[in-house]
Every structure is written in C-alpha cells, then in structure tokens.
Amino acid sequence: MNIQWRRFLRQVVRHLMRHSGFRPSTDGFCQACRPALRGRRMPFAAGAAIGASLRKDGAIHVIALSALIALASASAPAAGQGRSITVVSWGGSYARASVKAYHEAFVKETGIQINLDEFNGGLAQVRAQVETGNVTWDVVDLEGMDTLLGCDEGLLQEIDYADLAPAPDGTPAVEDYPDGVLDCGVALLDYATIYAYNENFFLGAKPTSMADFFDLEKFPGRRGMRRSPYSNLEFALVGDGVPAAQVYEVLSTPEGVERAFRKLDEIKSSVIWWETGAQAPQMLADGEVVMSTAYNGRIFSAQVLEKQPLTIVWDGQVQGWSYLNIVADAPNADLAKQFITFATSAESAARVASYISYGLVRRSAMALVGKHAEAGVEMRPHLPNAPQNMGNMVRENPEWWADNMDDMNERFAAWLLH
C-alpha cells in the first residue's frame, strides 16, 4: 500500500507546487521530496481517516492533503537515500532474465532502486514524453531501427562508448564492440526473430526451412506472425528463395516489395497476428497455431523452463541488435548512465545469457557465456550468434527500415485489410 500512497502524494505535491509557482527549480524539489515520501510509512488508521474525510467534503480533502504533505516533508531523512530510476523493457521472460541478470545486482551494489515497466517496443511513448516535456522514463530497451530513429529525432542521449567499463582483460570498451554499433545507446543483445513449431502437430515430417513456413500444403495449420511488416517481409523473400544476403537489395526495388507481399498472400488466411513477445509462445503452447514467428529467447524459455514441446527452425531468421538507451531529458540521467554502464559490463551482459538465450554484442561478454543458471543447459548452442545457427541468417538493416517503415506500414495495413 505504501508505495502507491507515496506515489499519489508525490504527484499531488508536484502538481500543487508546479501550479502554485512554488517549485524552486526543475529538479530540486523532487530530489528533496522523494526520499521524504519514500521513507514514510503511513499508518493504516491515518489512511482510513483521510479516506473517510475525503468522502465528506471537498474542503476537507484539500486540508487533509496539505496536512499529509506537511507530514511527509517534515520528516525528510537525509538526501541521497532512496534514489531511483525508471527502466522500461520488454515484458515476460525477458524482463525476468534482466532482473535476475543485472537489476538485482545493481540495486544491491548501488542502493539505487529500479522501477521496471514494460512496453512492446517503438518510440511512441518516448516521443510523447520528450515532446510534452514530461519525461518519466530514464532507460529504455529499443530495437536498432528505433535507436537510429530516436537518435536522429533527438529523443535519445548519445553515449560515448569510451565511458563504458573496459573488458575483464583491460580492452577498452570501444574496441570490444563490432563495427556498426549505433552511438545513441549501448548495444546489448544479439537476438533473432525466428520461427518455431509445436512438435505435437508434426509427428511425421518436420519443417526445416523458411520455405516450409510458407508451405500450407506440406504443413497445414495456422501460423502466428507479428502484426508488423518488420521481419515478415524478410521472411517472405527468404521463403521465396532469395538468398539471405540479398534480401534488402531485393526489398529496395518496388518489384521486391511486391514479391514479398505476394509470398505473404499464400498464407495470409491462415495467419493469427501477435503483438507482444509473450503471445507467440503462448499461442504455440495452446495449440492456437502450429507454428509461429517469435523472438528466439521466448521460445527457449518455453522449451527449457516450461517444458513445452517447441522447436526452433534456424533458417532465414532476422537477427538484430537491441540497445539500452537513455531518454533525452531523463529525470535521472546520471543514475541511468551508471545503470547502463553496469548492465553492459562483460560480466552483467554475460549473465543475461545465463537466463535467456540471447547472444551478446560485446565480444568479451560472449567469451564468458556458460550454462543456464537454473536449468543447467549449455547456453551457447541456443544463442542466435552460435555459428551453427547462423547458416542462413538475415542481418537486420536498421537504415532500410528507418527509411521505409512508414511506407511499409501503410502497405501492410492495406494488405491486411484486403
């Protein structure tokens, strides 16, 4: 209960201050009041009494709140305690992995609290916050394309890789990353959008290639796909026989786009579209679909932790890097940077791969990958950047998508409707 009361009070106080012109500086007030409110445990009786008085009269409402505010600020403990940041990431098994891999350790080491929220990617909320000047997120976990766009739009802060922790052997961070990483965030994961199937439906012949995903005659049954052109167009072209390395070249021509949509046409009536990362493994496990595209780590978690009969097909998968970013004008930018530095150290990053099967962009982190922390499975063979999985892989091209996302979204929406 306490946290909500505190949050509510904090907001009321913030607003009273803001609208009465009481606020001394942009951040000064909140820095001072947050620990005050956080350290305060409201006795239940007081809460109930206030609740009762709220019901009686509007005037009492105001008086009670003022009293509370006075109460809260009078007993402010020394500043410095109770600092916190808001971290926004993808939910489900990925969020759980991040918490175990580095959130908990970070909190323990620094005393900085983490408010974890989840979203389904995209820049929308970040943009809305920056443009309205009401930024509440500090750190956000974005796909490459959105990192690129956010950087161009000034929505994200640039981060100098030179400030990051060096590798365990002393190699500076700048030299520890492959070429082509963007500098409006720190590249963390090497993840893949793959397709997987439910073994119960394929007791005889099993799908082995991207072409099989599009083959309803050989492998009948409903498919799950993300409701977005992103990665589906690549799948379609690979499924239609385009070599993985030439996918974006082909997509850059109008005929190539046409070809991708024609391929998608072949399975359109059998597709159920998912929107959140957790839906794909869920639909597979429930038998709503017989195969589905999905983020590889989610399928791994369902396979290994929940013992679901799922199999990943490593062919034609789209592989990209995800980034940890600091939102422009983040309220706690310094703490956020501290957090990102912690999270992207070789040790922390490597620990992510001991909870969920995502590869790491940082070379020295990859070197540390071992077994799953709970299931004891050797993790390397399950990572997207394991050599045996990369045989026919499409490396995501964020620039192409940044340029064509709007256009492809429009086409995709129209295509879905017709």
Contacts with other proteins, residue ranges (CB under 8 A): 1, 3-5, 7-8, 11-12, 15, 18, 51, 54-55, 58, 61, 86, 88, 91-92, 115, 117-118, 122-125, 127-129, 131-134, 136, 149-155, 222, 261, 271-273, 275-276, 278-279, 282, 286-288, 328, 399, 402-404, 406-407, 409-411, 413-418
Pairing assessment for the beta strands 223-226 and 271-274 based on DSSP bridges: parallel
Nearer to other proteins, 283 or 349 (CB): 283
Q: Which of 412, 414, 417 is nearest to 260 (CA)?
A: 412
Nearer to other proteins, 1 or 78 (CB): 1
221: left (phi over 0), alpha (psi -120 to 50) or beta: left
- Please give the Cα distance from 351 to 188 (Å, whole number): 12
Q: Is 266 helix (H, G, I), strand (E, B) or coil?
A: coil
Neighbours of 407 (CB within 10 A): 11
Write down the least CB distance from residue 174 to other proteins, Å: 20
**What tokens appear for 406 in the block?**
């709007």
Residues 6 or more apart in contact with residue 248 via CB below 8 angstroms: 397, 400
Neighbours of 295 (CB within 10 A): 27
Q: Read off the DSSP letter of residue 398.
A: H
Nearer to other proteins, 64 or 346 (CB): 64
Write down the least CB distance from residue 248 to other proteins, Å: 14
- Please give the Cα distance from 287 to 198 (Å, whole number): 8
Write down the least CB distance from residue 386 to other proteins, Å: 28
Write down the least CB distance from residue 171 to other proteins, Å: 29
Nearer to other proteins, 50 or 101 (CB): 50
Nearer to other proteins, 11 or 208 (CB): 11
Write down the least CB distance from residue 285 to other proteins, Å: 9
Please return the burial class of 255, using the count of CB atoms within 10 Å of its CB with bins 0-12, 13-18 and 19+.
exposed
Q: Is 392 helix (H, G, I), strand (E, B) or coil?
A: coil
- Please name the residue that has the structure tokens 């080491």: 109
Write down the least CB distance from residue 218 to other proteins, Å: 18
Write down the least CB distance from residue 317 to other proteins, Å: 23
Nearer to other proteins, 229 or 359 (CB): 229
Nearer to other proteins, 181 or 386 (CB): 181
- Please give the Cα distance from 166 to 203 (Å, whole number): 49
